[in-house]
A = this chain, B = another copy of it.
Amino acid sequence: MFRHQKELQFEVKVDRPDPMLARQVQEVLGGQFGEMTVMMQYLFQGFNCRGEEKYKDMLMDIGTEEIGHVEMLCSLISQLLDGASPEDQAEAAKDPATAAIMGGINPQHLLVSGLGGLPTNSNGVPWNGSYIVASGNLLADMRSNLHAESQGRLQVARLYHMTKDEGVRATFRKMLARDRYHQYQWMAAISELEEKNGVVVPASFPPEAEMESQSEAYEFWNLSEGEESSDGPWATGSAPDGTGEFVYVAKPVPKGQIPNPKIPGAELHHDLDGKAVLK
């Protein structure tokens, strides 16, 4: 069960409205790697977590924090949209430069939300559940979390340069700091899990010959012209878990025969022989 506190996690106060920035900020609210994504991903991972309590608790801590980040971004967007009503727009349209900024407004910020945040990305595509994953395998999911926080911080860093508004930047500084911490957090958890189980997901599918084909587990296949890709730790040396040595296959050849599919029954109407053969 959850409870809500009226204050925001951090201060959110913009210096002046900027509807074009409001549209851009939607990316980190309702985009592929926005706050809605990490919120829902951590909550679902926490809700579904089976096993050691400390991981479930940690997931619930951070998932709950992220609901508050969605709240902060809605507040940020609302403030950026103040003064973007049609009446103000009409006024602004008299000045070409301002008109350009207004032309970049997301029309749904006026028509659909009436100057509030939307559950969509910066192009208005609705957030959807396939942005998230909760697989039950902790290591797999924490790698997903680390990647989400990496993409998320990258996007906030890019946004940072798209405004000179000190109020907005102050909020971004907090978000950048939290995204930094959250990267650390998942790295630390990943290290712990890798030490326990090994680095390959899933650990419980062992590389014994009868279960996994070992001959292909250490080969780099050079399928794009040129051998620049041979110059890296993925091409030579030992696997990270020391179970084998990498092989750079410079000239790979296929190992499977040409498939020979069967002609389907007449009721599927492939028309392969140009005859009607139905009963």
Contact = CB atoms under 8 A, between A and B. Distances in A.
A82 to B, nearest CB: 5
B97 A70 contact: no
Nearest to A46: B224
A213 B174 contact: yes
Given A31-B112, A269-B158, A200 B224 contact: no
Interface string A34-70: 0010001001101111111110111011111101101
Nearest to A151: B140
Given A134-B116, A181-B217, A224-B3, A85 B265 contact: yes
Interface string A163-182: 01000001001101110110
Interface string A268-279: 111110111111
A151 to B, nearest CB: 5
Interface in A146-192: 146-147, 150-151, 153-155, 157-162, 164, 170, 173-174, 176-178, 180-181, 183-189, 191-192
A85 B184 contact: no
Name the residue in A162, A201, A257 with the highest tally of chain B Cβ atoms < 10 Å from its Cβ.
Answer: A201
B278 A205 contact: yes
Given A86-B162, A173-B213, A226-B57, A119 B140 contact: no
Contacts of A112: 27, 31-32, 133, 135, 155
A53 to B, nearest CB: 5
Contacts of A206: 276, 278
Contacts of A228: 53-54, 56-58
B108 A255 contact: no
A250 to B, nearest CB: 11
Contacts of A220: 61, 181, 185
Contacts of A96: 96-97, 100
A154 B180 contact: no
A217 B180 contact: yes
Contact of A256 (B12, B102, B133, B237): B12
A240 to B, nearest CB: 5
A270 B138 contact: yes
Given A1-B9, A116-B134, A147-B147, 20 more contacts: A1-B8, A1-B71, A4-B60, A8-B259, A9-B254, A23-B107, A32-B130, A47-B78, A48-B116, A52-B272, A57-B227, A64-B223, A78-B261, A107-B122, A139-B150, A143-B143, A157-B205, A181-B216, A197-B274, A204-B271
9 contacts: A1-B223, A107-B123, A122-B124, A127-B128, A136-B270, A140-B151, A154-B201, A187-B240, A205-B269
